[in-house]
Structure 1
Amino acid sequence: MDDSMEERFLAQKEEDATDHDDLRRRLWIESKTIWRVAFPSILSRVSSFGMIVVTQSFLGHISEVELAAYALLQSILVRFMYGIVIGMSSATETLCGQAFGAGHHHMMGIYLQRSWIVDGITATILAPLFIFVTPIFRLLGQEEELAVAAGPIALWFIPMIYSFVMSLTISMFLQAQLKNLIVGWVSTAAFALHVLLSWMFVYKLNWGVNGAMASMVISGWTSVAGQVVYVFGGWCPNTWKGFSKAAFCDLLPVVKLSISSGVMICLELWYYSILVLVAGYMKNATIAIDAFSICLSINGWEFMVCLGFLVAASVRVSNELGKGNAKAVNFAIKTILGTSTCIGVVLWILCLVFRSKISYLFSSNEEVAEAVSSLSILLAFSILLNSVQPVLSGIATGAGLQSMVAYVNLGSYYVVGIPIGILLGYVAHLQVKGLWIGLLSGVAMQTLILAWLVWKTDWDEQVRKASERLNRWLLKPPEEVNGSPPHA
């Protein structure tokens, strides 16, 4: 009997070791897949957002008024526009990711073209906001000096709107098929070009504000050109079959999904914009806006890293839903959340360590530096929350649940966050600190609700819904339409 018990014990031990080795192998494979998507996306988004931050840094050393005007534009209108475009582009992410997982490769190019049509029309509708920015800021009650200074700067953002449309949709098209490394390298090269051109135009040629903005436009379109060459040049033979009339069909479902995606992201990005706008009504508004926008820029730059994991979550969830593998979805979610949270803890510590030095990257003004330093602890906890919340949004995007997240964002940010921020900022006289505490409370509420919703989601049901959606919009490949064998 002792021998039998010993044999069972050894058998169980061997089985546990096998399960442990299998878990390690699965974790290693999943982590490699995640980083294959996340790393290029992080490079791309950090570089793209970095162009805006670098431009802000150069403007801050030209004039405090120009910095505040740019901060208003970047924090209000540009976030407004970027939120709509990136939100609507996430429809491309959902559709292309699920199509790739299901093996409907030829549909991905059609989904990309449909997104160009829908997003391009949207960008054209948004353009007048940048033309009439001075009267808009006056209407919002901003200082006359800032409203006037913002007018010429705003015109430079119009070509950037269309570059965002192209770059965001193409990058989502590529990352869905795990080919987005090119996006990361092209964006990094464009960022390096931007730094060089900004230095040359601002300091060597003395072109001032126009030089800094021209550098951003040139660099942004350089990144787009690189992506277009890659797609059109034959590096996506299975997913890009050329332009098709089918792109003009079934636009209404794409519009609906794009609008719900746009609302989901916009409610989040506008949240920060409204708080910056509110900061403009405080005492010493220029310093308040400068300090708040610097912290938001740092928070935003770190958020771009987290968006890389949002993308990875969206791609992994959509791919596995397209394949019909609910268990793989669950495993991918746990792996991505664990990885992103660990990175968030490291960045949280770094922010606390260097809190008194941060502001000098953007301004040499001592008042601004002191205001930024006083916000550093709140900034650190914002960074920590960023490591979780975007991943949860990415999971929802991969599953096509953007409309649900839109309601969560609406309640968390606009029913909880903004009222608390205004009460603490104005009634409790905490000024910018009060606004930021309100900001944190909204993000914390959103994170808790999304975590609960993801935990309660029936992924087998989501597999069924993804299959129904893909089959409903499926068109025959060009080869079959022409009567030729698929690989002739």
Structure 2
Amino acid sequence: MAVTISTIKDNPEEKIQDFAPAMAQKWPGNFMKIAVSEMKKQRGLAIPLIAMNLVWFLKLAITTAFLGRLGELQLAGGALGFTFANVTGFSVLNGLSNAMEPICGQAYGAKNFRLLRKSLVMTTFLLLITTLPVCFLWINVDKILTFFGQERDIALTARRYLVYLVPDLVITSFLCPLKAYLSSQNRTVPVMLSSAVAVALHVPINILLMKAKGLEGVAMAVWISDLIVVVLLTVYILRLEIKNGGRWEGGGWFEQGSDDWIRLLKLCGPCCLTTCLEWWCYELLVLLAGWLPNARQAVSVLAIVLNFDYLIYSVMLSLATSASIRVSNELGANQPGLAYQSACVSIAVSSITGCLGAAVMVASRGIWGPLFSNNKAIVSSVKKMIMLMALIEVVNFPLAVSGGIARGTARPWMGMYANLGGFYLLALPLSWALAFKFHLGLGGLLAGFFVGMVGCLIILLVFVARIDWVEEAGNAQLRASHLEDDQEPVSKDGKQSLQTPIDAVI
């Protein structure tokens, strides 16, 4: 039975009837069997993504270590510069590229490879344009930092670091779309392997450039490593195009229309804000810690605790991406029942994984602090604060995965509103009150952050629970259809109609 675009638009009752058998089994009797089947599908996605993200965080650790070898000023300036780069640049680029997940995921499910290519080119072009104002901010970072009270020598060091890091903006504008392009097609192993190769070369590149150019050399090593990943992924995609010429023929690389741009931009705004709101909230938390009475110790303790969180975050981010890809693929394939099951299993798995991550943090609380400091006060405080951070991870995992589900349905505004309400209207004000009004210090900051994240999770779960999966599957067919391909298949009654590329599946 062929489901046409006109059928989806004009006959919603027939559409619901077609999908009813799948949705009638939202909670099948043998849920464990379906859960295991879904986890096997996500395993192939999540494991390479986890490895890739762990490798990426390893690259950050290597960069920090080399900055530390240059001296205290270089470490402070480089770390401050990279924090500024995350807030003003990389968070924005990553957020904008997240809009590719629903479009490419649903297009792949609908076998619309032309839309995949269009999205890759458009997103890359959009990110390149975005780098222009970001470059202006980076070049003037010393003026911005000194205006906000930062010491001039540290601000100038941060500027030196960022000026030589500017090429990474251009490279990231290619890297993020390439990763999303491949991941949405369940091709995560090449991304993992290319990242591993780049990090393996990151150490010798740092050694050579640090000796030759010092701080500037460490900054150059960052974008050179990213460039290696871009080159490897580009070569892989070119080989893939040649190998699958029969299936992938049809162009689409430079056939963008106004409708394509409108569709992309409508998703880019909420996706970007969702990512930025989350990233910025963590940076604001560090800033608040710097205002505590014992600021140096508080910031040191929070930095050590957040380093553990970053390791856990690599798993969390991978599960969220896997959930987004699975949901978008099933919606694009016109399978609302399977998309619903993927969402349910993803949330259940993330809740269990969050508890496991928290257990690991609690079990490691006695050995994590001494890895970073010999100060007994700092080590003791780290041991206490990790307990609070473990509670945060229990909530953070299902929160991240629920956000991934929202992206997979092409409704990223759900995550944006949840982050805005949970982080900025609840977490930050409550953290400030507990830390400074009730004098609970760093523990108050994390406790307020925990309450805010619980609120954020509740908001997002309510949004996800209210998703009409039948309607979203219909929307995915319109979004991932061949409307832009100038094809007009003829229906059985002789009328012109536009069929979705997934007709045979239904």
How far off its partner does 1:187 sit?
Answer: 0.9
For residues 6-34 of structure 1, give each alpha carbon's deviation from its aligned partner in whole angstroms, at most 9, with x where no partner exists. xxxxxxxxxxxxx87x6555334322211
For residues 325-366 of structure 1, give each alpha carbon's deviation from its aligned partner in whole angstroms, at most 9, with x where no partner exists. 111012112222232333322221221122233245555666
Kindly report which structure 2 residues correspond to 1:136-215, keeping only aligned pairs within 5 A, or say none: 136-198=144-206, 205=211, 208-215=214-221
Choose which of 322, 340, 359 in structure 2 pairs with 1:330: 340
Kindly report which structure 2 residues correspond to 1:315-394, keeping only aligned pairs within 5 A, or say none: 315-362=325-372, 369-394=379-404
Q: Quick one: which amino acid aligns to residue 40 of structure 1?
A: P
Separation in 1, partners of 2:190, 2:108: 18
Separation in 1, partners of 2:477, 2:215: 51
For residues 126-166 of structure 1, give each alpha carbon's deviation from its aligned partner in whole angstroms, at most 9, with x where no partner exists. 12222111221222233445433322222233222223222
- Note if contact 2:423-2:452 (Cα within 8 Å) is conserved in structure 1: yes
Instruction: Look up the match of 1:49.
Output: 57
Separation in 1, partners of 2:189, 2:250: 21
- Note if contact 2:112-2:482 (Cα within 8 Å) is conserved in structure 1: no
From the superposition, tell whether residues 411 and 23 of structure 1 become closer, same or farther in structure 2 (CA, over 3 Å). Answer: closer
Moved more, 414-423 or 463-472: 463-472
Separation in 1, partners of 2:331, 2:407: 12
How far off its partner does 1:473 sit?
Answer: 5.3
From the superposition, tell whether residues 96 and 473 of structure 1 become closer, same or farther in structure 2 (CA, over 3 Å). Answer: farther
Instruction: Look up the match of 2:15.
Output: none
Q: Are 1:124 and 2:140 matched, yes or no?
A: no
SS in 2 for 1:429: coil
Instruction: Look up the match of 2:254.
Output: 245
Kindly report which structure 2 residues correspond to 1:70-85, keeping only aligned pairs within 5 A, or say none: 70-85=78-93
Moved more, 113-122 or 355-364: 355-364
RMSD: 2.7
- Note if contact 1:60-1:362 (Cα within 8 Å) is conserved in structure 2: no
- Note if contact 1:299-1:382 (Cα within 8 Å) is conserved in structure 2: no
From the superposition, tell whether residues 370 and 63 of structure 1 become closer, same or farther in structure 2 (CA, over 3 Å). Answer: farther
SS in 2 for 1:177: coil
Choose which of 102, 111, 125 in structure 1 pairs with 2:110: 102
Separation in 2, partners of 1:444, 1:349: 19
Separation in 2, partners of 1:269, 1:68: 20
For residues 55-113 of structure 1, give each alpha carbon's deviation from its aligned partner in whole angstroms, at most 9, with x where no partner exists. 22443455444444444334444144222111111111110111111121222111110
Instruction: Look up the match of 2:23.
Output: none
Q: Are 1:221 and 2:235 matched, yes or no?
A: no
Separation in 1, partners of 2:140, 2:381: 31
- Note if contact 2:115-2:252 (Cα within 8 Å) is conserved in structure 1: no
Instruction: Look up the match of 1:115.
Output: 123
Q: Quick one: which amino acid aligns to residue 352 of structure 1?
A: V
- Note if contact 1:68-1:286 (Cα within 8 Å) is conserved in structure 2: no
- Note if contact 1:76-1:274 (Cα within 8 Å) is conserved in structure 2: no
Instruction: Look up the match of 1:446.
Output: 456
Listed as ranges, the gaps of 5+ residues in structure 2 are: 1-27, 488-500, 502-506
SS in 2 for 1:247: coil
SS in 1 for 2:266: helix
Q: Quick one: which amino acid aligns to residue 166 of structure 1?
A: F
Separation in 2, partners of 1:281, 1:72: 17
Separation in 2, partners of 1:452, 1:396: 11
Instruction: Look up the match of 2:24.
Output: none
- Note if contact 1:142-1:280 (Cα within 8 Å) is conserved in structure 2: no
SS in 1 for 2:127: helix
For residues 429-476 of structure 1, give each alpha carbon's deviation from its aligned partner in whole angstroms, at most 9, with x where no partner exists. 333332222222222211121112212221112112222223385324
- % same residue: 27
How far off its partner does 1:196 sit?
Answer: 4.3
What is the aligned residue count? 457
Moved more, 89-98 or 446-455: 446-455
- Note if contact 1:156-1:217 (Cα within 8 Å) is conserved in structure 2: no
Q: Quick one: which amino acid aligns to residue 245 of structure 1?
A: F
Instruction: Look up the match of 2:13.
Output: none
Structure-1-length-normalised TM-score:
0.85
SS in 1 for 2:362: helix
From the superposition, tell whether residues 197 and 380 of structure 1 become closer, same or farther in structure 2 (CA, over 3 Å). Answer: farther
Separation in 2, partners of 1:93, 1:384: 25
Separation in 1, partners of 2:422, 2:319: 22
Choose which of 292, 298, 305 in structure 2 pairs with 1:295: 305
From the superposition, tell whether residues 82 and 158 of structure 1 become closer, same or farther in structure 2 (CA, over 3 Å). Answer: same
SS in 1 for 2:481: helix
- Note if contact 1:99-1:107 (Cα within 8 Å) is conserved in structure 2: yes
Choose which of 54, 59, 77 in structure 1 pairs with 2:67: 59
Choose which of 218, 228, 239 in structure 2 pairs with 1:233: 239
